Amino acid sequence: MATERFTFPANFLWGTATAAHQVEGGNVNCDYWVLEHTPGSPFVEPSGDACDQYHRYADDIAMLARLGFNAYRFSIEWARVEPEPGEFSRAALDHYRRVLACCHEHKITPVVTFHHFTSPRWVAGDGGWENQKTAERFARYCERTAAHLGDLIGVACTLNEANLGAYQYLVGSLPLKLDPSRLPWLTDAARRIGADPNRFAPFLMCDQMKARDVMLEAHRLAAAALKSSRGKFPVGICLALGDLQAVPGGEARRDHIKAECQDIFYEAARGDDFIGVQTYTRNRISADGTLPPEPGVETTMMRYEFWPEALEAT
């Protein structure tokens, strides 16, 4: 019996991905740098030099090409590009232009993410992702960055996992908001940058439903800015999509979660060129909440259920 072969189209993109703060090193102007250097925070260790991709990007991109990839998704660090409100760094923009050019030299399509969790200190200290002004500020940063780099961008993602906070709150993995009065390290981190602890709101550490709404507006404004910018490239948003499964009696709760952290983002992405799907596991939803992994089921190092079938479902 002949074995049927499945082949991907010639223009299919096979890639890998990084986040700037996790690999570049020395990202001193961002909110997470402050958080991870504050005693008592949940960060196990500071990022420090990371793997120094800020200086070693050419070696890394060459390695990707040798491994057979033809796409590389990476993020541009807002805190480097706009370290103070309205002050844009030509040096940082030129750096990212060299990174993009290096991708093209190796025939790798650069997939650029404009926000991957980290924000400038001044953004987080002025209401962060609870503040509607952040949406406008983010769009301004995207517009200025694309004006400098747009002719070299292959694909653009506005926000990475923009629905993650709302999703984790609704399935019970995060509180609605961290309370600075009960978390001395969070208060200390705010004071280290001269911010009111009640207005210090990094992504994933603020009111998750307020952040959801600001993220939706930020995507809308940023997508429009990128579409009208220098260069022609697909624009979309990346979402964290779990396989939401209702056990008997949990259908209404599951549908509520889907509506609030998935469907609302699908609607916001209606005019986009793509939706980025990032999926890790399933969540079993009962009438009373989210159930833990079943006994004996394999789990990951992050303690969620190993469930590769989530990709098919999402």
Confirm whether 259 is domain-assigned.
no
**pLDDT for residue 291:** 96
| CA–CA distance, 205 with 165 (Å, rounded to integer) | 8
Q: How many CB atoms lie within 10 A of CB 243?
A: 18
Strand order in the sheet with 243-246: 243-246, 282-286, 289-291
The answer to whether residue 270 is domain-embedded is no
The verdict on residue 276 lying in a domain is no
pLDDT number for residue 244: 97
Residue 278 inside a domain? The answer is no
DSSP assignment of 136-158 equals: HHHHHHHHHHHHHHGGG-SEEES
**Within a domain: 80:** yes
**Alpha carbon distance 280, 311 (integer Å):** 8
Which range of residues forms the domain containing residue 29? 15-242
Q: Is the CB of residue 290 less than 8 Å from the CB of residue 284?
A: yes
Q: Which amino acid is at 211?
A: A
Low-confidence ranges of the chain (pLDDT < 50): none
- Dist. CA 61–CA 85, nearest whole Å: 32
Domain for residue 186, yes or no? yes
Note the pLDDT of residue 131.
98
Q: How many domains does the chain have?
A: 1
Instruction: Of 75, 63, 74, 71, give the one whose Cα is nearest residue 15.
Output: 71
> Is 261 among the domain residues?
no
Query: What pLDDT, on the 0 to 100 scale, is given for residue 1?
Result: 60
Q: What CATH number corresponds to the domain at position 151?
A: 3.20.20.80
What 3-state DSSP class applies to 305?
strand
Whether 134 contacts 214, CB under 8 Å: yes
Query: pLDDT digit string (tens) for 209-255?
Result: 999 999 999 999 999 999 999 989 999 999 999 999 999 999 999 99
> In this predicted structure, what is the pLDDT of residue 5?
85
Residue 129 lies in a domain: yes
β partners of residue 275:
237
pLDDT at 2: 63
**What distance in Å separates the CA atoms of residue 120 and residue 220, rounded to the nearest whole number?**
20
